[in-house]
Amino acid sequence: MTSLTSVAMTTSPASFDNAELLERVRANLASVAERIQASGRDVASVRVVAVTKTFGVEYVAAALALGVTSFGENYADELCEKRRTTSAAGASWHFLGSLQSNKIARVVRCADVLSSVARVKELERIAALAPGKVIDVQVDYGEDRGRNGVAPGEVGELVRRARALELNVRGLMVVAPRGEEATRRAFAGTNALANEWGLAERSMGMSDDLELACELGTTEVRLGRALFGPRSSESRLT
């Protein structure tokens, strides 16, 4: 996992020439480490996935220079382009967006982890393209069933099917619903489901709720604004 305890002391790499961006990301990583510690967790027990949606490759480079190795993308085109530019840098890429049928082959090719699997047909397509692929099942605790994810009561069926297809089910991922109590229920429920199905990873928590996620057992937090600042409303790549 990314070690955040020494980030603030890291010497600026000579190969990275945007000192202002580097120092901003360094300070933000140090702040994230403090927030994790304040929640009662050892920072080494929580992986940071840097979500680079709409952020350019210079942000990826800055995070890499500071020791971040896990990155997340919501868009297939951005994922593949950023994967190409960091192919020799040791970055691991997680796909976090909905799996569109016309782009699933590209996503499978470019992502190390598919963290948003929610349908049997997605499992079957992934298994056909990449046997043994690492996936997370996305759980949806929201009342709006239009959001991506499978209902908590259907998680077991999806995990069983994925294992039957010999996919590597790494864990569960959840995007919390609005409201602290609803978020608490979602994180606690996801943690319990992961335990029930023998899954090691719980991808819970984002920039606004990482403390609660840490309190309730997350193993990784997905951070965009907390690391890089406000993001553009538009994707940089089509």
What CATH number should be reported for the domain holding residue 23? 3.20.20.10
Is pLDDT of 74 > 70? yes
Q: Tokens 């406000």 label which residue?
A: 230
Give the chain's domain count.
1
Q: Counting Cβ atoms within 10 Å, is residue 113 exposed (0-12), middle (13-18) or buried (19+)?
A: buried
Q: Which of 222, 165, 167, 201 is nearest to 51 (CA)?
A: 222
Number of H helices, E strands in the chain: 9, 8
The mean pLDDT value of the chain amounts to 89
- Do the Cβ atoms of 1 and 46 come closer than 8 Å? yes
Domain residues for 74?
7-228
pLDDT per position as a tens digit, 146-205: 578 999 999 999 999 999 999 999 999 999 888 999 999 999 999 999 999 999 999 999
Is pLDDT of 107 > 70? yes
Residue 134 lies in a domain: yes
Is pLDDT of 143 > 90? no
Please calculate the CA angle 187-189-193 and round it to the nearest 5 degrees. 120
Residue 235 lies in a domain: no
Residue 236 lies in a domain: no
Residue 50 lies in a domain: yes
Residue 30 lies in a domain: yes
Partner residues linked to 134 by β-bridges: 113, 168
Residue 237 lies in a domain: no
Mean pLDDT throughout 8-31? 76
Give the dihedral sign, CA 88/90/92/93.
negative
pLDDT per position as a tens digit, 37-49: 999 999 999 999 9
Residue 238 lies in a domain: no
Residue 206 lies in a domain: yes
Mean pLDDT throughout 12-19? 63
Q: Counting Cβ atoms within 10 Å, is residue 50 exposed (0-12), middle (13-18) or buried (19+)?
A: buried
Q: Counting Cβ atoms within 10 Å, is residue 214 exposed (0-12), middle (13-18) or buried (19+)?
A: buried
Mean pLDDT throughout 43-72? 95
